[in-house]
Structure 1
Amino acid sequence: MPMLEVCRLRLKDGVSASDDALLKTLSTVRSVLKTNSRFYNCIEDPSLVYILGIWPTLEAHKAFLASPEKEKVLGSQEDQLDFQWILHMELDDISSLPLDAPVMAIARLFLKGGQHIEEYDRIVNKHRATLADATEPYNVVEGWRNDSEPGKREALMFTGWASMEAHKAFTAKMREDEDYASVRNNYEGMEVRHARDMERIAKTSQE
């Protein structure tokens, strides 16, 4: 099964997400690895960069990370980026993500165990159409992280929005629905970030 890689990196001091040299480095790595990756810059914290790419399997990515090729391919990034974390989720193709949206929300939802997982599924399934209507015409993609620590469950959700404010307004409105709002009772924690496509921003600035 194809695997989505979500990798978060932090820009080193003096490096900007708009630097041509950074985008050149990232695109070169993409062409070598053939992951069809996309590069996103966090709105809340502009020093954060998200790389989203597709691998044939989780094993294929792990094999690369354990190989001598890793340093040859990724070494060019060391002067520009610091690694933070990486995770994986099954996904058929990178185009399934809401790549055409002006803003993508990337949510990591850390679930409590047992019945909390079933309750999370119930609430998400019940309100899926409402979320799809709110984000239209952009895709909603959700799934389970498949490389979590033993005993841990983490849900992932990617949604597209016209702006970060539009997402926040939707969330505030949905909190008025007691059933939807209760989904948070099933979380040990959550992390939601909003980001923009770095290559799209660079292209727009050149026009």
Structure 2
Amino acid sequence: MPVTELSRLTLKKELKEEPKTVVIRALSRAKKLMEDFTGHDFHLYQEIENANHIYILGQWESVEQHMNEWIPSEANQGLLKDLVSFVEVDYLFHLDVSFGSIPPSEQAPIFSVGRHVMESEKRAAFESTFNKRRGGLEAHAPGTISGGWRIEKEHGREEFVLFVPWKDVDQHMAFKMTKEFEEYAEIRDHILLDATEIRHVALMEFPSPATQDDAA
């Protein structure tokens, strides 16, 4: 079953121009190698709230393909050596949603990544409320919303990750002032607020491999 990887990297420290260039090249190379390996597009996003956070989104044929074939591969191990001095992995897990259903960047300059964590027994109530109230969110978002359940579960917990396209952060904040948001916010009755987070991300642009080689 195709799955979507969601992972977040954090730059270990503020980078000066030369090491920053090294990181950008390594991330661009990682993107291309994963795309060549899977035959699917991968995208990297930078968090607006904290520019040191880098998100990876892409599709794998299965969790096993990612974890058992790609992770130990020579190509990936080489990438890790290039990046280990500069970044650390905050989290990495998979969602039961096709990457193609996540809002494309050309339709939304940014989108929010909402991690909704709940006790396992609250999942059915959350799903019911979300499906009942999602129309208000969809009416305000300038594109299709998408979400999926985390496959690697924490004991006694479920996590639903929601991707919502926005023109900018202000548009998202404006939604929170509407009547529709008051109704949509009923999902809070079912989630663990201290374990739930919402961040905004923007697509990272990389030079083509040919451009990088010319600059080297």
Normalised TM-score (structure 2): 0.81
**What secondary structure, in the 3-state scheme, does the structure 1 residue paired with 2:178 have?**
helix
Q: 1:38 maps to which residue?
A: 43
Alignment gaps of 5+ in structure 2: 209-216
Q: 1:88 maps to which residue?
A: 94
Per-residue deviation, residues 12-44 of structure 1 (Å, max 9, x unmatched): 223279x44333211211222225211111111
Per-residue deviation, residues 122-165 of structure 1 (Å, max 9, x unmatched): 121112222222112x2211111111123210111001100111
Normalised TM-score (structure 1): 0.84
1:92-131 superposed matches below 5 A = 92=98, 94-98=99-103, 99-100=105-106, 101-114=108-121, 116-131=122-137
Is structure 2 residue 158 aligned with structure 1 residue 153?
yes
Cα distance change of structure 1 residues 150 and 176 upon mapping to structure 2, 3 Å threshold: closer
1:1-207 superposed matches below 5 A = 1-15=1-15, 19-34=20-35, 35-64=40-69, 67-69=72-74, 70-92=76-98, 94-98=99-103, 99-100=105-106, 101-114=108-121, 116-136=122-142, 138-174=143-179, 177=182, 179-189=183-193, 190-199=196-205
Distance 2:96 2:181 in 1: 32
Alignment check: 8 A CA contact 2:9 2:55 kept:
yes
Cα distance change of structure 1 residues 148 and 8 upon mapping to structure 2, 3 Å threshold: same
Alignment gaps of 5+ in structure 1: none
- Figure out how many residues of one structure are paired with residues of the other and give that number: 197
Alpha-carbon distance, 1:119 to partner: 1.9
How many percent of aligned residue pairs carry the same amino acid? 25
Cα distance change of structure 1 residues 121 and 3 upon mapping to structure 2, 3 Å threshold: same
Distance 2:177 2:85 in 1: 40
Alignment check: 8 A CA contact 1:23 1:199 kept:
no
Alignment check: 8 A CA contact 1:105 1:194 kept:
yes
Alignment check: 8 A CA contact 1:16 1:47 kept:
no
**What secondary structure, in the 3-state scheme, does the structure 2 residue paired with 1:13 have?**
coil
CA RMSD of aligned residues (A): 2.4
Cα distance change of structure 1 residues 153 and 134 upon mapping to structure 2, 3 Å threshold: same
Alignment check: 8 A CA contact 2:97 2:149 kept:
no
Instruction: Between 30-39 and 158-167, report the one with greater CA deviation.
Output: 30-39
Per-residue deviation, residues 78-120 of structure 1 (Å, max 9, x unmatched): 232111111110222x332222211110010001232x22221
**What secondary structure, in the 3-state scheme, does the structure 2 residue paired with 1:165 have?**
helix
Cα distance change of structure 1 residues 24 and 186 upon mapping to structure 2, 3 Å threshold: same
Cα distance change of structure 1 residues 16 and 107 upon mapping to structure 2, 3 Å threshold: farther
Distance 1:16 1:198 in 2: 18
Q: 2:213 maps to which residue?
A: none
Per-residue deviation, residues 40-82 of structure 1 (Å, max 9, x unmatched): 1111111111111111101111103652534223322223211
For 2:109, the aligned partner's letter is: P
